[in-house]
With several copies, the nearest count.
Chain A
């Protein structure tokens, strides 16, 4: 599986204990003196501290966690969750976007159509996957998958993990805005159950483009944000237009799973294992599987007309305002 080689700032105390354990184990091996009692104690201390730290993460901590390079990515989840997966390619218009993966998968005998942004882990794959920022052809590939789901009456499962849609010139030239808008519009009327889960960074219009779902779940430490908090801090005078105050913007933007649930923008928070998804990808995948196994039958039980109406009503109701008495 994926090793936890990188430590986030708030994990420092855990890193220290890990280091002590490592040294004691080494000592045991090289000197033949049994320090297992001490190691056990340290492990307990580590676990208690881990629980404490991870139940008190700030919005900024979660932002860092959601972007953790060892956090599982969409293709990792696909491999762990589904019995079979045939990846499909291309938008039939211009190209195939490696930042958006798509295909047909089987969940314990239940066929689903899968879409999702894909980040890269090493430098080469990061570039290849454009850091998970999809281009118009990515969203148009996703739309093609929506048609397949509708045609065959199988659920669409969407994995959201992107800093934002690609906004550079070549994406602009091919209509990135139209692609995002069209994808949302398409999902809003799709005659098939739609399940979405924000697994990491749910960033901006690029995330919501594939997030107009009947059921939107979020992993416990994922974020769902209008824009990266550093960017927000850099452009608002509220934060002195100072990008280094992203931790304040993260707080203000209420971008955590818990806050998004409270605001009624997502439907469910899926707890991550002890210490975050990157510490136990397989267990995380099991929890997503369990969520899917519960939610898909619920959605499939709803007649499709009602389902589409319900989806419309759900997003239609989002937003807070008041009416002035005239």
Chain B
């Protein structure tokens, strides 16, 4: 179901590894993995980590993503202290969690909290592909459900930035049940009449795409992001077929009616803001003041 063999766009914390070519100061230059252009670090940052020559969207760290979407200083993380356990006693899981934690610099593959976007209060969640491929175990599922329930209870829109290789294998069916749990929570948010936006980044696959990610009332994807139940590489390996180019991309899903918009990163915050302005106008003001 997942595309776990797909090489992670980054080996570490969901940022591209710094270019390490001879003569180029480490960390100052990055090579675009798509067009091979050498990109100056500052320039890349100014471009929201989009390649200026081919528009490849580099992965963002959680902090970068929040900075890009939320108003400055307006994000307050919730439930940062939730930690995964090993419900099945799965071999190696503890090690892998420790490694993921060290690499990503966060407790799990998903962070959420209260935020404001252009002044509109929202609940904002961000997945981190760098933590065990953004896979959804109990903690991710719990945080996603809490984010959605918080939106329903406080009368706030929920914006979730998705990135995942799928369900977390090491938690077995406990992991898979997070699909049901988050899907049910989506319904609660919708029943409360609150806007629910999902933002699909590269890659959004498996059990995440087949649950809360595809239940967005409005679904936005970043250009060229890999999106699908089973990634094309896994399909090609398992079925010994060659897929036509361009399948399982954001643009493919747009053409097949599965996402509303493919939006360049530079227009992402603007698009979300416009939707929030139009679909959560009075509610923002009427929401009870908490914290």
Contacts and interface: CB of A to CB of B under 8 A. Distances in A.
B9 interface: no
Nearest to B248: A172
Given A152-B195, A169-B247, A189-B184, A178 B179 contact: no
A180 B211 CA distance: 7
B176 interface: yes
Nearest to B259: A90
B243 A169 contact: yes
Contacts of B175: 226
A172 B187 CA distance: 23
B215 interface: yes
A180 B217 CA distance: 16
Most buried by B among A91, A208, A225, A235: A208
> Chain A binding site: helix, strand, loop or mixed by DSSP?
mixed
B90 interface: yes
A35 B179 CA distance: 59
Contacts of B235: 167-169
B82 A321 contact: yes
B274 A141 contact: no
A104 interface: yes
A207 B134 CA distance: 22
Interface in A143-200: 148, 151-154, 164-165, 167-169, 171-178, 180-182, 184-185, 188-189
A315 B177 contact: yes
Nearest to A112: B278
A189 B92 CA distance: 37
Nearest to A319: B138
A90 B172 contact: no
A319 B257 contact: no
A59 B278 CA distance: 40
Given A226-B167, A226-B176, A321-B83, A90 B260 contact: yes
A321 B210 contact: no
A204 B1 contact: yes
Nearest to B3: A235
B172 A323 contact: no
A90 B169 contact: no
Given A88-B260, A315-B177, A324 B81 contact: yes
B124 interface: no
B180 A315 contact: yes
Given A177-B210, A265-B177, A111 B82 contact: no
A269 interface: no
Contacts of B258: 90, 92, 175, 177-178
A254 B173 contact: yes
Interface in A68-93: 84, 86-93
Given A137-B257, A321-B83, A181 B228 contact: no
A152 B82 CA distance: 33
A188 B229 contact: no
A175 B243 CA distance: 17
B247 A225 contact: no
Nearest to A102: B260
B91 interface: yes
B169 A96 contact: no
Nearest to A171: B229
Contact of A165 (B172, B176, B229, B278): B229
A254 B88 contact: yes
A174 B215 contact: no
Contacts of B174: 263, 265, 318-320
Nearest to A312: B184
Interface string B163-194: 00001010111111111110111111011010
Contact of B212 (A92, A176, A181, A263): A181
19 contacts: A89-B259, A111-B279, A152-B279, A165-B210, A172-B247, A175-B257, A178-B215, A181-B210, A184-B180, A188-B184, A225-B172, A226-B176, A252-B91, A253-B90, A253-B169, A254-B172, A318-B180, A320-B138, A325-B81
Given A164-B1, A181-B211, 14 more contacts: A111-B278, A137-B257, A151-B190, A152-B195, A177-B214, A204-B176, A205-B207, A225-B173, A226-B169, A254-B88, A255-B172, A315-B181, A321-B142, A323-B83
